[in-house]
Amino acid sequence: MSKSILITGGAGFIGSHVIQLFVEKYPAYTIVNLDALTYAGNLENLKAVEGASNYTFEKADIQDEAALKAIFEKHSITDVIHLAAESHVDRSITDPLAFVKTNVFGTVNLLNAAKEFWKDNLSDHLFYHVSTDEVYGSLHDGGFFLETTAYDPQSPYSASKASSDHFVRAYANTYGMKTVISNCSNNYGPNHFPEKLIPLCIHNIKNNKPLPVYGKGENVRDWLFVKDHARAIDTVFHQGRTGETYNIGGFNEWKNIDIVKLLCAKMDEKLGRDAGTSEKLITYVKDRAGHDLRYAIDATKIQKELGWEPSLQFEEGIEITIDWFLANQDWLDRITSGAYQEYYDKHYNN
């Protein structure tokens, strides 16, 4: 069946990879990218698809009820893949309300728009919510997050994503909407906004700037290459069972300090610096408030049920990522001037 899929947040980091995959792999689908173009949204991320005949961009805010209604009608939307969100934990600590507005209110607004537009045949349409493993909280005594792990969000960001997950399930239970949710671990790769650990370090190493490591650098994250997340989203969208949750992860846990050291070593090689040069930039700074100790995903369900698994080893993915950033200095320069510099000075120099 021909589909007209609304992908929200398509100008962001993960969304742009999802859009590219869908536009290129499914020429019979119409792909509508709805994005408010906040500081994190960048149409340059979509250069590869901007001229494609099955791709359209709509600048809109998911908080805007009238705009959503008009876009559903204009494009006869058949399915939604919802990625639009405020996504940075540090920003959620300084401005939690912005996260409630987009991640909670915006998601409910989008659910309402979909429910209203599909009201005559709700069960023919899918609302897919893309979420995070951070909803499960912080692991302190070993173990892994399973789909059955109780929600225990610890930051304003994860609390807002947990809330939006709950609303999606509530709409399935109450109104019979066809929904699916996936909760993924930390992504990295091309187009990653340089407020997050990996691109921030790549950018700072290149510019000989301090590498701010929170606390002792002992916090652990599970990292997944962004294109593997996009492949997983494709898999869940097409094969996932209605009403289910799928955890997505890289089977790839790293302490922050070890990642920063790996980036330093790789960048020394690529920039022709003596071994050990960039490590001198490592600077331990005040810890993040309420910093979650460890995230670790058990991605067995999606692997066994749907046959998805990561395609890249971490070191391979990191090479691709560093090479991309070094080859796309213009992209980085444009992003890191202006508002980014203001954010950076305020966050790291206070």
253 classed as catalytic: no
Distance CA 115, CA 122 (A): 7
Is residue 196 within the footprint of ligand TYD (CB under 6 A)? yes
Is residue 189 within the footprint of ligand TYD (CB under 6 A)? no
Q: Which of residues 188-207 bind ligand NAD (CB under 6 A)?
A: 193
Distance CA 236, CA 246 (A): 8
Distance CA 2, CA 19 (A): 17
The option from ligand TYD, ligand NAD, none interacting with 161 (CB < 5 to 8 A, set by class) reads ligand NAD
Q: Which stretch binds ligand TYD (CB under 6 A): 15-23, 213-221, 325-333, 335-343?
A: 213-221
C-alpha angle 276-282-283 in degrees, rounded to nearest 5 = 155
Count of CA atoms in the C-beta half-sphere (13 A) of 3: 20
The option from ligand NAD, ligand TYD, none interacting with 135 (CB < 5 to 8 A, set by class) reads none
Q: How far is the CB of 254 from ligand NAD (least distance, A)?
A: 14
Is residue 219 within the footprint of ligand TYD (CB under 6 A)? yes
Q: Which of residues 110-169 bind ligand NAD (CB under 6 A)?
A: 130-132, 161
What residues contact residue 147 under an 8 Å CB cut-off, 6+ apart?
A: 183, 244, 245, 246, 247, 301
Residues 245/306, Cβ–Cβ less than 8 Å: no
116 classed as catalytic: no
Instruction: Count Cβ atoms within 10 A of the Cβ of residue 157 and give its class: 0-12 exposed, 13-18 middle, 19 or more buried.
Output: buried
Of 49, 110, 200, 302, which one interacts with ligand TYD (CB under 6 A)?
Answer: 200
The option from ligand NAD, ligand TYD, none interacting with 83 (CB < 5 to 8 A, set by class) reads ligand NAD
Binding mask 286-315 for ligand TYD (x = CB under 6 A): --x---------------------------
157 classed as catalytic: yes
Q: Which stretch binds ligand TYD (CB under 6 A): 48-56, 58-66, 78-86, 212-220?
A: 212-220
